[in-house]
Structure formats: C-alpha cells, structure tokens
Structure 1
Amino acid sequence: MKNFNDIKGFPDNFLWGGAVAANQLEGAWQEGGKGWCVADINKFRGDIPLEKRSNEEMTSEDVLKAMEDTEGVYPKRTAIDFYHNYKEDLRLLAGMGFKTFRTSINWSRIFPNGDDKEPNEDGLKFYDDLIDEIIKNGMEPLITVSHYEIPLNLTLNYKGWYSRETIDFFVKYCEVLFKRYGHKVKYWILVNQINLIVYESFNHLGICADKVDNLLEAKYQAVHNEMVACAKATKIAHEINKNMEIGMMLCDFVSYPATCKPEDVFATMRRNQMEYFFGDVMLRGYYPGYALRFFKDNNLNIKFYEGDEEILKNTADFMSFSYYYTSISDAESVKKNKTCYKNPYLEANPWGWAIDPLGLRTALNNYWDRWQKPIMVTENGIGLFDTLNEDGTVHDTERISYLSKHIAEIKEAILDGVDVRAYYAWGPIDIISCSSSEMSKRYGFIYVDLDDYGNGTGNRILKDSYHWYKEVIASNGEKL
C-alpha cells in the first residue's frame, strides 16, 4: 500500500508538455500527396459574434461548395506552416524543458481518400521525420491518430463514421501507423475527444446531415462504430508491440446541478452519465445500463453487429481528457435538450468559457474514482486576445494566472491520490482555433505573427508565459 506521506506533489517522472493538432498548425494542405480532410473546409466567419463562431453541421452540398470556394477564408489550409517550420518550432518548445509533445497525424496525409489500397509514402516519411525530431529534442511523443482530420472522401462517398466500412479503413490506418512508428512512439490516443458528438460533430464523425434520416441516431451509431474500431486497433497495437500504451480521450463536459433541488440533481446526473458513457465503454469494455435506457427512451436504434460485444473488451490502457470550462444544468434545461448553460458564479474568457480551476480537481477525482486508470490531462488552456507590443514583447499575465491556478489543482488531485501522469498545455504555440477557425483566439506561450486572414510575418515571439512555464517545468510544478 502506498504511504500517503510519501506523496509530496508531482512525481519525479511527471510528463510536462504541450499539445497541438495537425490540422490546426501544419498547413501545406495540398503538399506531400495529402488529400482533402474535414478541417480543410472549416471557414473563418469574422462577421458573426465571437461566441457563435463555431463549426456547424454540414450537408453534402455545403461540403462541395466549400471545396469549390475560391473567395472564402479557410485558415487551417495554411495555418502557421508548421509543416515547413517544425524543426525550429520544436526547438523553441524544447527550450521550455518540455518532457513530452502531443500532436496528431493527419489521416488524409497517410490515406488521402481514406479508402486507398496503399498508404501515401510521402506522408509517412513526413511523420517519420517529425517524430524523430520530437525525440531528438528530448520529448516523449504522444500521437493522436484521429483529431478532426477524417478524409472528405469518407463523408461524400460513404457516410463518415456512420458507415460500417469506416471501421476497417480506420483499423488499416492504425495498423500502418503502429507498424511504422510503434518502435519509437509509446503513447497513443486513437480518437480526440470522442464524446463530442454535438459540438464538433461533423468534424469528428464526418456525417453529412442529408445522408441520414435521424441525425442523432446516426451520431450514436457512428460513435459505436468508432469505439469498435478503437477496440480492434487496441488489440492490434498490443499484438504488434506490448510496450505501446493506448489511451482514450474525453472532453470534460460534465456539468454541476444548478440547484440542490432533487429534480435538478437527478437530471444533471442523467445528463452527465451520457458524458461518462464513452469512457465506460472504452475503459470497462461494455455498454452500461443507463445508456441502453437512454437509447430506448429516445427511440434510438443502435445496431450491434456480430463480434462487436466481444471486441469491445479490448479496453484502453489509460484515460485522458481536455479541460477548459464548466457549466451547470437543471431539470428544465435537460428536458429541453439545451443540457447546460453558464455558471453565474464564474468569470469567463471573451468567448464565454467559464474559468473554474477547482473544477479540474473535481474532474480528476471523479474520473479516478470511476475508472481507476492512469490519467493524462491532454489539453488545458485559455484562449485570449494577445497584444504584440512595439518592443517585441507579449505580456500575457491572464494566461499565467489561469494556468498557474489549474496546475495547482492538479497537484491537489495528486495529493488526493489520483494517478495523474502528464499535463499538456493546449496550443503551446499559437495555432488556428479548432471551433472558430480564427488566429486571434490565442493559447500559446509562443506568439505567431499572423492574423485571422493569414496576414503577417509568421515570426515566432516568446511571450512572458514562455519563461514562466519554463520555471514551472524546471521546478516540477513547485514554482507557479
């Protein structure tokens, strides 16, 4: 039994680092044999309010129009050109003392159409070089296999993850990656934020709304197919290299009851169960009763195929999650299917995301109590408007305050007995926003001189937070 007195804070082997996604920083969207992916049609809309700049459902017509659009602004196509600048960018990140770096492999660089017979060697070679450079800079790579980069061909000529064929396409893709990189990549996340099937649902699942009769049912069928594919891929990974560890990832989207009224507490509990659902399947290996009740009550017919129940027993080795904000729910909001809303006790960033450091400690304890699997915090950060001063400085004290308070709560969770293995600050270098496709929503320790329309020098400038995070890592979380 572990002696509680031996737990002083972050363990000596704790992994400090940062996380990005290929589609938000690489650019070079038509280079190296890459095909179209869903991120390539994420349009920037500067003419609408900040809080409404998010990706929406798409029809086949919407997709085709975006592909033909020569006037709209699609920032993820060029992003910050990490594709050509990754060596220098990784050197800057390593300068903070990073122990680890999380990025994704763009599916459409490896299988441009998703259903190709053979992988694209140019794409494989790019990630060979990128992973080697990560390791060369002293960082443990954590690779996400699917991070909103599903090939568009799988949405137009199939039905995204709703199509059963996508399981085999994904498993083939995973097997190629595991065989190619498994000797140098230990940690993998198969699907980014697998519970986001309402927000980011098209980017995640690739279902054109006009291709299905019941979109909600299609989403849950799609995520069932996705979890089956992940279980198959996990089994293959362990057969290829028993040292590889496969993780599953949630977006922490659990809400607080708005009041102590029993009906609000119960409705919130029910709502939260369907956020835990994905982890319950992927970490326990079976569908929980509350989910079956949810499908029945909502007349959703989720099909299990022969072998699905058995393959789901191949569970993930660790759980990970992103944490940005919390919200509240009550019986009325859940009934209306507007399941959560803003907490009046919390301040928020300009995009309306509530700032709740204590909620991170709560989440860590809840996940540990529920699953007893090692945990990585694979995204945490705050989007802010940063100002580049005339003297070349960026004073981001609000970001330092946000991250400092959240890291302090991770330490408290470790003292609570939670097995936290790693912390990844989201967007350690400024990248294109996932939800709003804008550059001005910045998360990084490194400023990138580009605006929402891609104008600027592209120069990298160290913010105050860069030097602060360097001290955090050097002190193993003691100096905040």
Structure 2
Amino acid sequence: MLKVPSGFPQDFLWGGAVAANQCEGAWDVDGKGASVADINEFVDDIAVDKKENGEITAEYVRGALAAGPERIFPKRWGIDFYHTYPEDLKLLAGMGLKTFRTSIDWARIFPNGDDAEPNEAGLAFYDRLFDEIRANGMEPLVTISHYEMPIALTLNYTGWYSREVIDFFVRYCQVVFDRYASKVKYWVVANQVNFVALESFNHLGVAADKVDDLLSAKYQAVHHELLAMAKATKYAHEHHPGLQIGVMVGGSLAYPASSKPADVLATMRHNQMECFCTDILLRGTYPGYATHFFEERGIHVEVSDEDLAVWADPATLGDFFAMSYYYTDMVTAEGFAKDNRGQRNPNLEASPWGWAVDPQGFRFMLNEYYDRYQKPVFILENGLGAYDTVEEDGSIHDDYRIAYLRAHIEQMREAIKDGVDIRGYYAWGPIDIVSCSSSEMSKRYGFIYVDLDDYGCGTGERSLKDSYAWYKQVIATNGEDLG
C-alpha cells in the first residue's frame, strides 16, 4: 500500500561539518606544506557582500608566501583544531551528533603534492582524529579534497590544468583509502566539484597568469579532476568494497528571472551545466549539452576516447549524491550569455553577505537532484553565517540561526515526503570556524562560539549558543521537535 513517510528515517544521520583548512590551523606544523587556502587573505576594507575568493596569480601566491605579519591569513591558524580537537569533539558529541564531516588536508599528507612518500606525521594526525571521532560515538564522513591543494602544485605545475596532477591525486587517494578504510566508511572525493566560477582558484589551483585562456583552462582543469575522481572511486570500489563514495556539488540550481521563454531556456541550460560534473560521475556519460556550451563560447577542452572510457566503467560511479545548500539565484538570458552566473532574487531576504534565504528552494533542489540521479542523498552543508553578540553574562542568543535551520529542516522533511531518499543532514560549521569565502571569523555559523576575531586575537575559549540546546533537542527527537 502506498504511504507517505511521516518523518525522518530511524537511522537518519544528524551531523555537523567542517573543513580542515578552515579549522585546523597549524599550517606549517609536523611537515605540512602550504595549501591554496593558506594564502586566502582577510581584507577588512571590502564590503562583506563583495568578498569572495576570486582569481589569483602566481605572482600573488609568491607574495603571500613571503608576506610579513602586516598581512592577515586567518586560515593559517583557524581555531587551532589541530590541537583542540579532543575537547571540541566532546562538545560536539554533547549535542548528540551521530556523524561528523571533516576533510584531510592534502598538503598535510603530500606537502608538495608530488612527493615520493607521504608525510607520516600528517597521516598519524588523522589516525588520532578519526579514532577520536568514533570514540565520541560519531560516524566520520571525510572529504579528500576541500580546497587544500598543495600550493606547490600551482607554482611548479598549473594546478588541475596540468594532467600530471591526475596521477598525484589518485596516489593521494589510494594512500588515504588504504590507511583509513577500517575507520571511515563514507567518503567524498572532492568538495563542491561544480564550483568552476565561485571557487575557481581554491578549487582548481589554476593561477590566472600561467595560462593564455583562463576560461578554457578552468574547464580543462575540471576535466582532469573528474578523471582523477573516477579513477580514485574505482580504486576504492575494487580494493575496499565496503566504502561508500559520494559525489558532491554546491547546490546551485536556479529559477528563471521571468516567464519569458528566453529566460526559462537560459535557466534550463544554466542548471544543466551545474549538473555537468555529476552527470559524468553518477551517470558515466559526457553530456551533449556541455559540448554545445563549450562550442558556443569558444571553450577548448581536450577529451580523448581513453578519457571517455574511464567514465564508462561502472566501478567509477559514485554511490551517493551529496550537496551543500545555502541560497538560490535567478537566471536571465542576458546573464547566461555573459558568464552563466545567477543574480540575486529581489523577492527573498538576504544575509549581510548577500546570500538569499530560501528554505523552499532547498526542497526544490532536493527533488530536482533526486529525480535526476535516483541516488541516496546527503546534505553535507547547510547553515547561516551571521554576526553573533556575546551578552554580559556570556550568553549568545542566536534565535536567527535557529529560525533559519528550523525552516530548512522543515522543507527537508517535506522533501522526504516527496520521496527523496535523504540519509543525512550536516549543519555547516557546528563550531565557529574561519569563513571560506571571506576569511572572516566574524561570519559565524556555529552552535559553539569560539572567542577569536578576524585577526586571530582572543582567548580561543569555547562557549555554547542557544542553538546548541536547540539542535540537541532536534537530534534527540529525530527531527520531531523543531522548537
């Protein structure tokens, strides 16, 4: 008999997510090399809604690596999670988290990317970290590449644009799969792999002054990354068949800006290109719409028959679909023709950083992606970056964060009723960490407050926000009590 699900599955994974480069710090400790995130600079004289990680040149990279203390690179110290993780994980476990997502910093394992041997001190750190996650009753979910490419691969090569990086990355994946297969079941090979424009350098490591045609170089770089991801997934499936390998995108499907047929068609094409990477890694085919898109825009990507054969192998396909979700955009025909980026929706309120708050868009995307792939779904990031105020008594009343998360969890529950097979939900930044896009500490997501400012000043003391108790109750009632 047909029946609509009444709530969340009994084995639903309620969790929280961070990235190594935003929390660990210790950027030059125990043999770690510099990563692309370690040259993300905090600049305080730019409007917050204009801050993002844009294009970077090799000249800038060299200058950042040689810079003195007058320049601020907050991801180099993060929240010192490298040293505080035992205490932090106890606080997170106190909420009842069933799972915790983090990443392995590539530059901590292969400091230069092309090293002959991995760095044992880095491997040992993640042994301790994953053991501690499990000891606190949480299932680890690990991202292998989360904006942590060794910076040497951008200077000595050209990031993912250099085909040699495929083999370097596959070897890195093999090392971590072999080392941690008994400790980590759930893996995501690369974070938000569709972010070709939004996190171009952080994602791809292509310095703008090292290529002649940057747009073509970006898509060639993504092509190489997708090949490497497929090969790594095949290795995991063949050597460690118990592992579950996911493919993750940044949720970025858009609405038409109007009912004009040109805007509707442009939106369809925009959304197709946002599914380009997952169509390859979950369907195993190179989509014709992408070839058409490249031809129209004069984008040159070299794709061989041997490359296509890699993706045609079922062993290279991911086991689950994963996404982050923060906001929605609108698309116009003119905007699509210009750069395929969306624009803000005037019908939605936005955070100070210009991110539109759209809980119903969450349900929309969950349905659209699930209809397309029919794979189990994990929401690996969702949260509200906001300014928090510490009251005189030390309390932090973040009712705005609770309201945001409540509305999104309600829509996630509706998506389950729609038939979407959602397995887990990971609130982004359950403890305050450095912002990815703006390198700020003041853009806070956490249930746990960390006393550090944008310049790394403060006690580092941890304290609980009101949202901590709220999320604890959500987990304890399996999403029934949303306060």
Q: Per the shorter chain, which TM-score range?
A: over 0.9
Structure 2 equivalent of residue 63 of structure 1: 61
Which whole-Å CA distance do the structure 1 matches of 2:340 and 2:253 have between them?
14
The answer to whether residue 338 in structure 2 is matched with residue 339 in structure 1 is no
The answer to whether residue 257 in structure 2 is matched with residue 227 in structure 1 is no
Structure 1 equivalent of residue 280 of structure 2: 281
1:32 to 30, 33, 41: 30
Which whole-Å CA distance do the structure 2 matches of 1:95 and 1:442 have between them?
20
Give SS of 1:143's match. strand
Alignment of 1:90-239 (within 5 A): 90-239=89-238
Give SS of 2:378's match. strand
CA shift, 1:213, in A, is: 1.0
Structure 2 equivalent of residue 436 of structure 1: 438
Which whole-Å CA distance do the structure 1 matches of 2:397 and 2:48 have between them?
23
Deviations 1:384-411 (A, max 9, x none): 0000111010000000000000001111
- Residue identity in the other structure for 1:238: H
Structure 2 equivalent of residue 373 of structure 1: 375
1:49 to 47, 50, 60: 47
Structure 2 equivalent of residue 85 of structure 1: 84
Which whole-Å CA distance do the structure 2 matches of 1:197 and 1:4 have between them?
41
- Residue identity in the other structure for 1:91: K
Deviations 1:147-204 (A, max 9, x none): 0000001000000000000000000000000000011111000000001111111000
CA shift, 1:304, in A, is: 1.8
Which whole-Å CA distance do the structure 1 matches of 2:2 and 2:210 have between them?
55
Which whole-Å CA distance do the structure 1 matches of 2:78 and 2:468 have between them?
21
Give SS of 1:194's match. coil
CA shift, 1:335, in A, is: 2.1
Give SS of 1:166's match. helix
CA shift, 1:268, in A, is: 1.1
Which whole-Å CA distance do the structure 2 matches of 1:4 and 1:137 have between them?
39
Which whole-Å CA distance do the structure 2 matches of 1:312 and 1:299 have between them?
24
CA shift, 1:306, in A, is: 5.1
Structure 1 unaligned spans of 5+: none
- Residue identity in the other structure for 1:262: P
Which whole-Å CA distance do the structure 2 matches of 1:121 and 1:4 have between them?
54
Whether contact under 8 Å (2:396, 2:465) holds in the other structure is yes
Give SS of 1:394's match. coil
Whether contact under 8 Å (2:33, 2:111) holds in the other structure is yes
CA shift, 1:246, in A, is: 0.5
Which whole-Å CA distance do the structure 1 matches of 2:102 and 2:368 have between them?
26
Deviations 1:193-225 (A, max 9, x none): 001111111000000111111111011110010
Normalising by the residue count of structure 1, what TM-score does the alignment of the two structures yield?
0.98
Alignment of 1:243-282 (within 5 A): 243-282=242-281
Deviations 1:2-60 (A, max 9, x none): x5426211000000000000000000011011001011100001111111121121111
Give SS of 2:321's match. strand
- Residue identity in the other structure for 1:111: F
Sort the Cα spacing of 1:196 and 1:334 in 2 relative to 1 into closer, same or farther, 3 A: same
Larger CA deviation: 49-58 vs 337-346: 337-346
Structure 1 equivalent of residue 398 of structure 2: 396
Larger CA deviation: 405-414 vs 336-345: 336-345
Give SS of 1:456's match. coil
Whether contact under 8 Å (2:270, 2:340) holds in the other structure is no
Whether contact under 8 Å (2:4, 2:417) holds in the other structure is no
Which whole-Å CA distance do the structure 2 matches of 1:201 and 1:335 have between them?
19
Larger CA deviation: 246-255 vs 307-316: 307-316
Which whole-Å CA distance do the structure 1 matches of 2:343 and 2:114 have between them?
40
Give SS of 2:3's match. helix
Q: CA RMSD in A?
A: 0.9
Which whole-Å CA distance do the structure 1 matches of 2:150 and 2:338 have between them?
34
CA shift, 1:145, in A, is: 0.2
Which whole-Å CA distance do the structure 1 matches of 2:119 and 2:320 have between them?
30
Which whole-Å CA distance do the structure 2 matches of 1:456 and 1:95 have between them?
24
Which whole-Å CA distance do the structure 1 matches of 2:404 and 2:300 have between them?
43
Alignment of 1:387-466 (within 5 A): 387-466=389-468
Which whole-Å CA distance do the structure 1 matches of 2:66 and 2:199 have between them?
22
1:23 to 11, 15, 21: 21
Which whole-Å CA distance do the structure 2 matches of 1:219 and 1:339 have between them?
15
Deviations 1:450-472 (A, max 9, x none): 01001111000000000000000
- Residue identity in the other structure for 2:473: E
CA shift, 1:337, in A, is: 2.2
Which whole-Å CA distance do the structure 2 matches of 1:276 and 1:29 have between them?
34
Structure 2 unaligned spans of 5+: none
Give SS of 1:312's match. helix
Deviations 1:267-296 (A, max 9, x none): 111111110111111100111110111111
- Residue identity in the other structure for 1:109: R
CA shift, 1:307, in A, is: 2.3
The answer to whether residue 302 in structure 2 is matched with residue 303 in structure 1 is yes
- Residue identity in the other structure for 1:468: W
CA shift, 1:333, in A, is: 1.8
2:330 to 309, 320, 328: 328
Which whole-Å CA distance do the structure 2 matches of 1:299 and 1:145 have between them?
32
% identity of equivalent residues: 62
Whether contact under 8 Å (2:166, 2:225) holds in the other structure is yes
Q: How many residues align?
A: 478
Which whole-Å CA distance do the structure 1 matches of 2:361 and 2:181 have between them?
35
- Residue identity in the other structure for 1:153: A
